[in-house]
Structure 1
Amino acid sequence: MTVVEERPAPPAAPPPRPVNRLWALLRNSWRQLTSMRTALVLLFLLAVAAVPGSIFPQRAVDSQRVTEYYAAHPKLAPFLERVGGFEVYGSPWFASIYLLLFTSLIGCVVPRLLDQVRALRQAVPDAPRRLERLPQHRSDIRYAGQAADLARMLRKRRFRSKVREHEDGSWTVSAEKGYLKETGNLLFHLALLAVLIGVGFGHWYGWHGNRILVQGADQGFCNALAQYDDSTLGPRVDPADLPNFCLQLDKFTASYQDTGQPKGFDATVGVSENGGPIKTRRFTVNDPLRLHHANVHLIGHGYAVTVRYTDRYGESQTKTVPFLPVDGMFTSEGVAQFPDVNIEPKTNKRDATLQMGFEGRYLPTVGTGAASTFPAENAPALFLTAYRGDLGLDVGTPGSVYALDQGQIATGDLKNVSGARPHELKIGESWTLDDGTKLEFVGTRPYATLAIRYDPTQFLILIGAVVGLVGLMLSLSGRRRRVWFRALPATSENSSGTLLVAGGLPRTDYPGFADEFAGLVKAAEEGIRDGGAVQSTDGRDRPGLPGRDGSLRR
């Protein structure tokens, strides 16, 4: 009778742990967001999202152009307003791409930075058993030096090296080079993060504004929000935070080539900071005026026309108004408005239907057509059309200061009182209108278009750009590779020197690695002549022989 021994049943496998689907979704989403592929896609999307900012006028840069775009495209402009087309860089969709890219870069860079630090702290791995399987190898190297000499030779060639001795009497030298490639990658990404941080904080704490500054002490400008033609303050900036300074344009000179192309611009201004004395400063297009917490850039220039209007009661008003260039020869358009004229002396009441507006063109050099032939004032002339009526300034609706309200002209509230053709005026000439009033062309003054801005992170962005360029160069030039040398145990057949086996492995694509490996092998072989002699006790040199541990005996 056979007795069957009963074996205990194997323990039951533990039930599978329930999967937290929400945690798995969040983990996989984070891994996908912090991958390099996602970072590149977001960087591309950020570049594409910035394109509308170059196509459509931006309210932060020039609000007047936005108003003109509304007039030219009445159907498209409201749609662009809803999707943030006129404020691209402050729109929610641009900010979302920006923040996703910032998060992706942080999640991508931090783990790689920790891995790089660990790799630099770890020793180079030991040689593999079969060096002949590597892409580059040699097995017949005679070496008369010691392992430390070989490691020193590799370190001179900027290899990280490690010497290891084994129980069978052999030793190995491991060397690695090319960590600058990954270091360059990390520098580039850290620099990109610095640029993103700089752009973000610069938007929060920076400000800028544009101002047309006419030459003359009576046309000065102080840094107040109300005195800018258009301005933008960061979300963390209040009008009271603006630095205290005043500017006046003392002199502006421009030179041109014979073709009319600009040759050079030069502005001389009087500057007073924090209520101090006025100091004369000079700046040009590529050399901005640097003040405390503000930089003044020269971005354009033109001519301001000075006219004097005498109303029907003999009262005169003089105005200097900038005319904006419309072509490269500085054919300029503008308007001079006189809303407070023709006031009845007895009642001191103003008739709104007797306001005056003069719209037209200024030509620095008159030619045969309606455009200037040269940007300098060789033969200046002013062509004006006079309008009388309600200018539409009393209703409080914002409008352009460089053109009359076309709606008032269309409704007949402003009427042309000068005829079908504009009236031409030379400097010093006057024009008597149909009601006996008179307009005199007094002269012109140059003006400079100034962009005044402050970016507290400008230096950080500059450093980030420089570091990013250095990191990119290191990343493109660095190639990681490893080299191993193994000394075989001493035998009677290798008494003339240590027999070495060498192998090399490029970690990245490196076409020149074969030549570099051959150079290292040659340097090791030359050790028989250069480093293979040791000093004997009697003062004479004799060739060193390998001992049982693979080193040279003395």
Structure 2
Amino acid sequence: MTVVEDRPATADAPPPRRINPLWALLRNSWRQLTSMRTALILLFLLAVAAIPGSYFPQTSVNRERVTQYYTAHPQLAPWVDRLGGFDVFASPWFAAIYLLLFTSLIGCVLPRLRDHVRALRTVPPEAPKRLDRLPQHAPAAERPAEPAAAAGDLARTLRRKLWRTRMRELPDGGFTVAAEKGYLKETGNLLFHIAMLAVLIGVGFGHWYGWHGNRLLVAGEDQGFCNSIIQYDDSTLGPKVTAADLPKFCMRMTGFEATYQTTGQPKSFLATVQVKEGDGQYRTESFTVNDPLRLHHANVHLIGQGYAPILRYTDRYGVSQTKIIPFLPTDAMQTSTGVAQFPDVNVDPKTNRRDDKLQVGFEGVYLPTGGTDGSAVSKFPAERNPVLYLAAYRGNLGLDVGKAGSVYALNRGQITNHELTKVSGERPHALRPGETWTLDDGTKLEFLGTRQFATLSIRYDPTQSLLLVGAVLGLLGLMLSLFGHRRRVWFRVLPANGQEAGGSVIEAGGLPRTDYPGFAAEFAALTQPAAEEGTP
């Protein structure tokens, strides 16, 4: 279907032009998308869309906090997950806003850049005939200098003050001096938009060619890890990155220091590690929360810490197993929950067979500083009075079914089906470092102490430098845009009548191209020398 413009039919008129409605729709949509108003709306929407990413824990940053959110909000968490709330910056709706903003900025910047370059190459326009009609006007004043010399002096003065100046000669022997200033305002606007494009490009390429992984690292040389996908608790590779592209390094944590205020608020964290890159030797490095460990093509960030109880279980046949179990903090005072599972115990030495009904699991709470009231809440995040409350379960732990499960909680389905039963009584048993708990079947659990662990976020973003440059240029462009003001001034220098030795008459006018309250004072300062040197 085509649309025919409704024009009056005349003998000399051209035939009516047919307009394709699809082309008209596309053209109008493009104009609307590339308008400054649309770009500002999309920028606002992008900022609003990023709010859930700062409110909800993000899987790509700390999966442990996402697990804690599921525990605290079992009804709300699944809906947040369906809407992409735990992975906001990789969600389709965030990507849609991002791509629309990118397209809008390109369509907005390119025409303005072309017009700005054209304006920079254009000389200041000729002076209007009636300078007295301009917002700023200086009446004609006589000067003893000849018109050519007076105009030349004005042009040189304006150039020294960084005005783009053009002097023209008039047919009657006079001269005009046109000057313009304030192009940095539009330069700042364009620089700000180009910087935003650089940031958007950096974010996009950083997502494609970057990677990150989270690792809970317990202190001790026997708990080290190497940079491999299978050794991360969770990881994400960019679409252009494979597991073989990861840099080669190994790390083990040798120490962790945490200091707190008297109120329990953290003051400082310091992790000390031994790291080896490639085929080199181990070296000792330290890093804190705001000072990551920088490796070749990887940065190691410290994002969390906690305690890992050391438990030794001795089964009914006298066989012992020792495990270091990280307990996850649930509050600022490091009240931590976790589970120790011993599926390969109580193996009959005569038949070398394991009875699945004799597997053992311990679930409980660790308090770095337990109170005297017996409550399961820590009073201080440092280990001042450590106590471990555990409940024992015996039966089938459900670890052999091949389904993924939480390593921080027992299988609730096994408990509901009575395949895993509680054997420690109604109240959890309290253990302090060095104490032993003897269960009803003669097996023993020893609490040997704790080790500290650190939650590490290991990341690589190849466009970090581009993002930094974009942020700096954006700030610079914003400052130029805010403090730059476009304005023009003109001086008309005519020969003075009635002077035998010659002379000239100077009239001036000024026009601010943007809202500039200080233009009147600037114009007065420019025209004051001419008034002072003029003859009364």
TM-score range, shorter chain: over 0.9
Residue 262 to residue 66, structure 1, CA distance change in 2 (3 Å): closer
Deviation at 1:527, TM superposition (A): 5.1
State the partner residue of 1:503.
509
Q: Secondary structure at the residue paired with 2:19?
A: coil
2:172 to 168, 171, 185: 168
Q: CA shift at 1:146, angstroms?
A: 2.5
2:418 aligned partner:
412
| Letter paired with 1:268 | T
> CA offsets, 1:505-542, max 9 Å, x none?
0001111111111110112334569xxxxxxxxxxxxx
The amino acid across from 2:345 in the alignment is V
The residue that corresponds to 2:4 in the other structure is none
Pick from 492, 495, 516 the counterpart of residue 498 of structure 2: 492
| Counterpart mapping for 1:17-36 below 5 A | 17-36=17-36
- Contact 2:506–2:530 (CA under 8 A) maintained in structure 1: no
Distance (Å, rounded) in 2 between the aligned partners of 1:389 and 1:96: 50
Shift of residue 409 of structure 1?
A: 1.5
Partner of 2:376: 370
Q: Give 1:417's aligned amino acid.
A: V
In structure 1, the partner of 2:6 is none
Q: 1:325 to 1:76 in 2, by over 3 A?
A: closer
Contact 1:141 1:521 in 2 (8 A): no
Distance in 2 between the 1:117 and 1:319 partners? Answer: 69
* Residue pair 2:490, 2:510 contacting (<8 A) in 1 also: yes
DSSP-derived class of the 2:263 partner: coil
Residue of structure 2 in register with 1:198 after alignment: 202
Closer, same or farther: CA 383–77 of 1 in aligned 2, 3 Å: closer
User: Which residue of 357, 361, 364 corresponds with 1:357?
Assistant: 361
Matches within 5 A, 1:119-268: 119-143=119-143, 144=145, 145-268=149-272
**Deviation by residue 1:386-407 (Cα, 9 ceiling, x = unmatched):** 1111111111221211111222
Q: 2:283 aligns with which of 279, 285, 288?
A: 279
**Which of 438, 445, 448 is matched with 1:442 structurally?**
448
Matched with 1:321 is 325
1:1-80 alignment runs, 5 A limit: 12-66=12-66, 79-80=79-80
Q: 1:85 Cα deviation (Å)? A: 3.6
Superimposed CA distance per residue, residues 315-359 of structure 1 (whole angstroms, 9 cap, x where no aligned partner)? 100000111112222121111111111111121111111111111
Correspondence 1:425 to 2:443: no
Contact 1:298 1:448 in 2 (8 A): yes
1:496-535 residue pairs with structure 2 within 5 A?
Answer: 497-526=503-532
Q: In the alignment, does 2:300 pair up with 1:296?
A: yes
Q: What are the Cα deviations for residues 234-255 of structure 1, in whole angstroms up to 9, with x where unaligned?
A: 1111111111111000111112
Q: Deviations over 1:81-136 (max 9, x none)?
A: 54434433222222121111101000000111111111111100010000000011
Is the 2:496–2:503 contact (alpha carbons within 8 Å) kept by the matching residues of 1? no
Distance 1:65 1:329, change over 3 A: closer
Q: Shift of the alpha carbon at 1:67?
A: 5.3
Give the 5 Å matches for 1:376-415: 376-415=382-421
CA deviations 1:135-194 (Å, max 9, x no partner) are 111122233343121111011111111100011111000001111100000010000000
**Is this contact kept in 1: 2:142–2:496, CA < 8 A?**
no
Asked if 1 retains the 8 angstrom alpha-carbon contact of 2:300 and 2:457, the reply is yes
Which ranges of structure 1 fall in alignment gaps of 5 or more residues?
A: 1-9, 530-554
Root-mean-square deviation over aligned CA pairs: 1.9
| Unmatched runs of 5 consecutive residues or more in structure 2 | 1-9
Q: Distance in 1 between matches of 2:458 and 2:78?
A: 30
Q: Secondary structure at the residue paired with 1:146?
A: helix
- Check 1:83–1:376 CA distance in 2 against 1; reply closer, same or farther (3 A cut): closer
1:49, CA displacement in angstroms? 2.1
Matches of 1:508 and 1:30, distance apart in 2: 28
Instruction: Choose from 307, 314, 336 the match for 2:311.
Output: 307
Cα distance in structure 2, aligned partners of 1:372 and 1:71: 19
For 1:408, the aligned partner's letter is Q
CA distance in 1, matches of 2:182, 2:427: 77
Q: Distance in 1 between matches of 2:84 and 2:155?
A: 63
Which secondary structure does the structure 1 equivalent of 2:347 belong to?
A: coil
Q: Which residue of 2 aligns with 1:4?
A: none
Preserved CA contact (<8 Å) 1:61 1:230: no
Query: Distance between the aligned counterparts of 1:279 and 1:494, measured in 2?
Result: 91
Counterpart CA distance in 1 for 2:206 and 2:492 is 57
The alignment covers a number of residue pairs equal to 520
Q: Distance in 1 between matches of 2:487 and 2:264?
A: 60
Once residues 447 and 62 of structure 1 are traced to their aligned partners in structure 2, the CA distance between those partners, rounded to angstroms, is 15
Counterpart of 1:511 in structure 2: which amino acid? P
**Percent same amino acid among aligned pairs?**
69
Paired residues of 1:205 and 1:455 also in contact (CA < 8 A): yes
Look up the SS of the partner of 2:203 in the other structure.
helix
Question: Which SS does the other structure have where 2:95 is aligned?
Answer: helix
Structure 2 match to 1:549: none
Contact 1:482 1:506 in 2 (8 A): yes
In 2, distance between residues paired with 1:350 and 1:100?
Answer: 60
Rg comparison, structure with higher value = 1
Give the alignment of 1:443-462 within 5 angstroms.
Answer: 443-462=449-468
For residues 30 and 258 of structure 1, the distance between their equivalents in structure 2, rounded to whole angstroms, comes to: 60
C-alpha separation in 2, matches of 1:16 and 1:494: 69
Tell whether the 8 Å contact from 2:369 to 2:384 is kept in structure 1 after alignment: yes
Q: CA deviation at 1:214?
A: 0.7
Q: What is residue 475 of structure 2 aligned with on the other side?
A: 469
Inter-partner Cα distance in structure 2 for 1:75 and 1:421: 28
Asked whether the equivalents of residues 169 and 490 of structure 1 are also in contact (C-alpha less than 8 Å), the reply is: no
Indicate how the Cα distance of structure 1 residues 74 and 379 shifts in structure 2: closer, same or farther if over 3 A, else same: closer
Partners of 2:141 and 2:19 in 1: CA distance: 58
Q: 2:487 aligns with which of 481, 488, 498?
A: 481
The answer to whether the Cα contact below 8 Å between 2:150 and 2:493 also exists between their aligned partners in 1 is: no
Deviation string, structure 1 residues 283-316 (Cα, Å, up to 9, x no partner): 1111110000000011111111101000011110
Q: Which amino acid in 2 is paired with 1:522? A: Q
